[in-house]
Amino acid sequence: MANVSVFGAGAYGVALAVLLQKNGHQVTLRSSTAEKAQRLQKERRIPSLPEVTLPPEIKVTNDLCLACTGQPSAAPSLLVLAASSVHIRPLAHAMAPYVQKGQIVVNVAKGIEESTLKTLSQQIEEELPQAQAAVLSGPSHAEEVGRGIPTTCVTGAKSQKTAETVQNIFMCDSFRVYTNPDVLGIEIGGALKNVIALAAGIADGLGYGDNTKAALITRGMAEITRLAVAMGARTETLYGLSGIGDLVVTCASMHSRNRRAGILIGRGATAGEAMREVNMVVEGVYAAKAGLALARRYQVAMPIIENINAVLFEGKSPSACLSDLMLRDRCVENASLCWGQ
């Protein structure tokens, strides 16, 4: 049995806390405010996961020191960051005085810091150099993880031992975990699939069909892979759970807040209006600018992400974007394939 603390009492944090408790671990769930912690301690559920009840064995707290150190009990061997991506650096910074050398900090959020273009693991390493940073990613909607529906993810870390520790703590008959040393590839795939999911949702909102969505998923994956490889990631990672797996589920499912926001935008809402309607953090809106900035830094063509930025921040109409994407200059599908081979 491991001692685990989950930071973030939103849908995914609650779902993972329930999963980890069912796996036999001692779990502390840390909420960002005392008011939310008290409410969750009493009601044992949140509105976004009405079918999931927090077991009484899970301790709920707002005390950051307690969640990090476990005192008076033993210090947690695993600290799970389940906050939204924009809160990861501030959260890690606040945790710094309490995190001990060698503790594993596993990030389950998906995003890129707009101001620095750093991944979430890179931010954690800067704020918590004494810790062992890891990432857990893949097609894993909280609504299904919390209900014990079979789910498969991938974990990455610089150390194989760290990744295998995370694998062993999370893995069970309803939650299968693979390991992968390519942390960068895992994180780029997880962050930028949210932008493509916005595009897929916009296409749905415009009334387009399955052909359009399949094209956006396929060509979106090509864009993400080009960028990730240019940054030093491995193609194989993007063909795995944190790449194509997460992209497919986020573009296709109504559990996806990014797809839902995209549908609203396709129907005429602004990005701000869509985010307010969804009433949850829409990570793709925050990742879009960072994705475009990385594309320009590494001189990689990413026309879908470029057009999504134009819709979100420049007032371009979604229908004009789809038309521009369809009428781009003729090109080959894969430049690595040549005639006569």
pLDDT in tens, 189-213: 999 999 999 999 999 999 999 999 9
273-285 burial, b at 16+ Cβ within 10 Å, e below that, comes to ebbeebeebbbbb
Q: Say which CATH number the domain at 20 has.
A: 3.40.50.720
145 band by pLDDT with thresholds 50, 70 and 90: very high
Task: Please state the domain count of the chain.
Answer: 2
* Whether residues 224 and 138 fall in one domain: no
More confident residue, 117 or 282: 117
Determine the average pLDDT of the residues in 48-76: 91
pLDDT higher than threshold 90 for residue 278: no
331 is a domain residue:
no
Q: Which domain holds residue 191?
A: 184-326
Nearest to 2 by CA among 248, 238, 170: 170
Q: Rounded to whole angstroms, what are the CA distances from 223 to 101, 163, 196, 338? A: 38, 27, 10, 20
How far is it, in rounded angstroms, from Cα 84 to Cα 285?
Answer: 12
| Phi, psi for 187 (deg, rounded to 5) | -75, -35
Specify whether 22 is located in the same domain as 55. yes
- What are 15-56's pLDDT values in tens digits? 999 999 999 999 999 999 999 999 999 999 999 999 999 999
**Average pLDDT over the chain, rounded to an integer:** 94
| Phi (first) and psi of residue 18, to 5 degrees | -65, -45
Task: Return all residues near 185 (Cβ < 8 A) that are at least 6 apart.
Answer: 228, 233, 234, 237, 238, 242, 243
281, pLDDT greater than 80: no
- Residues 164 and 210 grouped into a single domain: no
Same domain, 174 and 246: no
Do 167 and 191 belong together in one domain? no
> Domain check: are 146 and 196 in the same one?
no
Report the amino acid identity of residue 261.
A
Assess whether 158 and 195 both reside in one domain.
no
Half-sphere exposure for 275 (CA within 13 Å, toward CB):
10
| Mean pLDDT confidence for 142-147 | 95
Q: How confident is the model at residue 325 (pLDDT cuts 50, 70, 90)?
A: confident
Type of residue found at 90: P
Q: Do 253 and 108 share a structural domain?
A: no
Residue 302 makes CB contacts below 8 A (sequence gap 6+) with 223, 226, 227, 291, 292, 295
- Residues 177, 203: one domain? no
pLDDT tens digits, 117-140: 999 999 999 999 999 999 999 999
- Alpha carbon distance 260, 264 (integer Å): 7
Question: What CATH number did the domain enclosing 293 receive?
Answer: 1.10.1040.10
pLDDT bucket at 341, cuts 50 / 70 / 90? low
Is residue 255 over pLDDT 80? yes
Contact 171, 151 (CB under 8 A): no
Q: Could you tell me the pLDDT band of residue 76, with boundaries at 50, 70 and 90?
A: confident
What's residue 244's pLDDT? 97
Strands 151-157 and 132-137: antiparallel
Phi and psi at residue 317, in whole multiples of 5°?
A: -75, 140
Q: Which helix (H) or strand (E) holds 26?
A: strand 26-30
Do 251 and 275 belong to one domain? yes
Q: What is the pLDDT of residue 73?
A: 74
Does the pLDDT value for residue 275 go beyond 90?
A: no
Q: What is the three-state SS of 257-299?
A: HHHHHHHHHHCCCCHHHHHHHHCCCCHHHHHHHHHHHHHHHCC
Q: How confident is the model over 8-18, as pLDDT tens digits?
A: 999 999 999 99
Active-site amino acid positions: 193
What SS3 class is residue 253? coil
Please give the pLDDT value at position 203.
Answer: 94
pLDDT (mean) for 99-119: 96
pLDDT tier at 256, thresholds 50, 70, 90: confident
**What letter represents residue 305's amino acid?**
I
In degrees rounded to 5, what are phi and psi of residue 70? 75, 0
Q: Does 341 reside within a domain?
A: no
pLDDT band at 71 (very low <50, low <70, confident <90, very high): confident
**Do 243 and 273 share a domain, yes or no?**
yes
Q: Cβ(220)–Cβ(213) under 8 Å? A: no
Pair 234, 109 in one domain: no
Rounded mean pLDDT, 154-180: 98
Q: If you ran DSSP here, which 8-state letter would residue 242 be given?
A: I
Share of the chain above pLDDT 70, in %: 100
Residue 231 pLDDT greater than 70, yes or no? yes
